[in-house]
């Protein structure tokens, strides 16, 4: 048997060089094509949207400690790898700003994208569609601060301090106030279901609320036959100070002998409005102290204190917050009013609302506020001079022992 024969072929140097050049060109083409495709994917955005500009801009304050390039590395990773394309750079941008603000871990410092900012500003104007309830976070739990008088929420049985565990079946764990507001709001006539916990009850309630158009009137006056004037302050808007002055003119002209200021479920509003209202009792005395780190600044009004000798009762409860606590705390410190009701909410911080060029906005905590006697009420609240509870049974039977206690106090000094 013949031995097997092996054949070999020698390559010429020229042929090998041609092969290597071809492989290199092919690799270069494919690599360039791949990079181009990736950059193409990265630059694609949904129809009708633009792209984020100035991506190479880096804050100088970070350059020595943190490579801001990592932000864009993550951005590009999302644009290249996320399985649902195209990715909205608009959502990435606003989401990044929202995360930046949330990193402060302050429920009162909030970033609003343009749509949210428009909704927030409509709230301040006094008209919007929704259920008519102020919500917030207390003890890490989303809850009702207060339902507005006559609102769909109050008519459905929602009460201050109700804890919101679900909205239309979606759990609220780790949900921000802004996310909750967006889910609760909706067109007039539509419904939303809130799953709530009330007090120490072990079972939860599911309450269906039909949304309506909420129109807010911040100042309401009732003149009683017994000479007591009742002023309901539902919130502090830009017009509240002027409306309150007109009401003061009326009650003084009518010869009122006592005054009840109902701040229950008043969740606050404009700081300036609260200061101007307090001026009717305090004149140019300090209404509130703003504390920024180690610095303090006092605020006061300058009008004549025409109500300083008017016997006054202020009604408060767990829904009385922020600007309403400023008014109540100031008059309590100077002993110019007696507070009746329940412990207030305890929001002792000041926010500044800053609109941005693209229509978005930031509401940022800039200071803590103190009462004239330098009491801090943040997350503590104000304790009434006379504690009177309004129970669920009272609410269901249309009874108001707090208001009755106020009338009795003024009628029997």
Active site residues: 322, 333, 347
State how far the Cα of 243 lies from the Cα of 264, in Å rounded to an integer: 19
C-beta separation of 129 from 188 below 8 A: yes
Taking alpha carbons only, the member of 381, 317, 390 closest to residue 138 is 381
The tokens for 11 are 């390559």
Distances (CA, A) of 4 to 1, 7, 371: 9, 10, 106
The tokens for 127 are 């008209």
Phi/psi-derived region of residue 404, left when phi > 0, alpha when psi is between -120 and 50, beta in every other case: alpha
C-beta separation of 158 from 145 below 8 A: no
Quick count: other Cβ atoms within 10 Å of Cβ 170?
12
SS (H, E, C) 56-71: CCCCHHHCCCCCCHHH
Helix residue ranges per DSSP H, 103-239: 114-125, 152-155, 177-184
Strand, helix or coil for residue 102: helix
State how far the Cα of 51 lies from the Cα of 45, in Å rounded to an integer: 7
CA angle 76, 82, 86 (to 5 degrees): 85
At a CB cut-off of 8 Å and minimum separation 6, what does 82 contact? none
Residue that the structure tokens 């919130």 belong to? 235
């Amino acid at each position: 048997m013949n031995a097997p024969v092996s054949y070999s072929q020698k390559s010429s140097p020229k042929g090998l060089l041609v092969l290597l050049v071809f492989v290199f060109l092919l690799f270069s083409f494919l690599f360039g094509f791949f990079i181009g495709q990736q950059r193409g994917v990265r630059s694609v955005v949904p129809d009708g949207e633009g792209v984020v500009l100035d991506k190479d801009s880096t804050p100088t304050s970070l350059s020595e400690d943190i490579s801001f390039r990592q932000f864009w590395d993550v951005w590009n990773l999302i644009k290249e790898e996320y399985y649902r394309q195209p990715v909205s750079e608009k959502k990435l941008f606003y989401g990044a700003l929202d995360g930046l603000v949330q990193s402060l871990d302050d429920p009162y410092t909030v970033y609003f994208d343009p749509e949210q900012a428009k909704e927030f500003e409509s709230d301040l104007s006094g008209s919007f569609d929704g259920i008519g309830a102020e919500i917030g976070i207390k003890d890490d739990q989303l809850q009702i601060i207060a339902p507005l008088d006559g609102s769909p929420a109050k008519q459905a049985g929602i009460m201050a301090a109700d804890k919101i565990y679900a909205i239309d079946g979606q759990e609220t764990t780790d949900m921000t106030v802004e996310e909750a507001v967006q889910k609760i709001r909706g067109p007039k006539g539509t419904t939303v279901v809130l799953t709530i916990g009330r007090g120490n009850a072990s079972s939860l309630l599911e309450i269906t609320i039909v949304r309506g158009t909420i129109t807010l009137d911040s100042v309401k006056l009732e003149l009683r036959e017994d000479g007591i004037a009742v002023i309901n302050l539902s919130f502090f808007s830009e017009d509240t100070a002027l409306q309150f002055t007109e009401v003061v003119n009326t009650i003084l002209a009518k010869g009122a002998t006592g005054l009840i200021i109902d701040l229950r479920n008043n969740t606050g509003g404009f700081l300036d409005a609260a200061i101007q209202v307090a001026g009717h009792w305090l004149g140019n005395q300090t209404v509130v102290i703003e504390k920024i780190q180690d610095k303090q600044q006092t605020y006061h009004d300058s009008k004549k204190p025409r109500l300083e000798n008017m016997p006054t009762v202020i009604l408060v409860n767990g829904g009385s917050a922020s600007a309403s606590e400023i008014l109540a705390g100031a008059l309590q410190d100077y002993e110019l009013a007696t507070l009746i009701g329940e412990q207030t909410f305890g929001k002792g911080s000041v926010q500044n609302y800053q609109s941005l060029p693209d229509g978005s906005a930031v509401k940022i905590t800039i200071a803590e506020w103190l009462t004239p006697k330098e009491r801090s009420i943040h997350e503590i609240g104000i304790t009434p001079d006379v504690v009177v509870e309004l129970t669920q049974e009272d609410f269901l039977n249309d009874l108001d022992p707090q208001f009755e206690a106020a009338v009795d106090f003024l009628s029997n000094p």
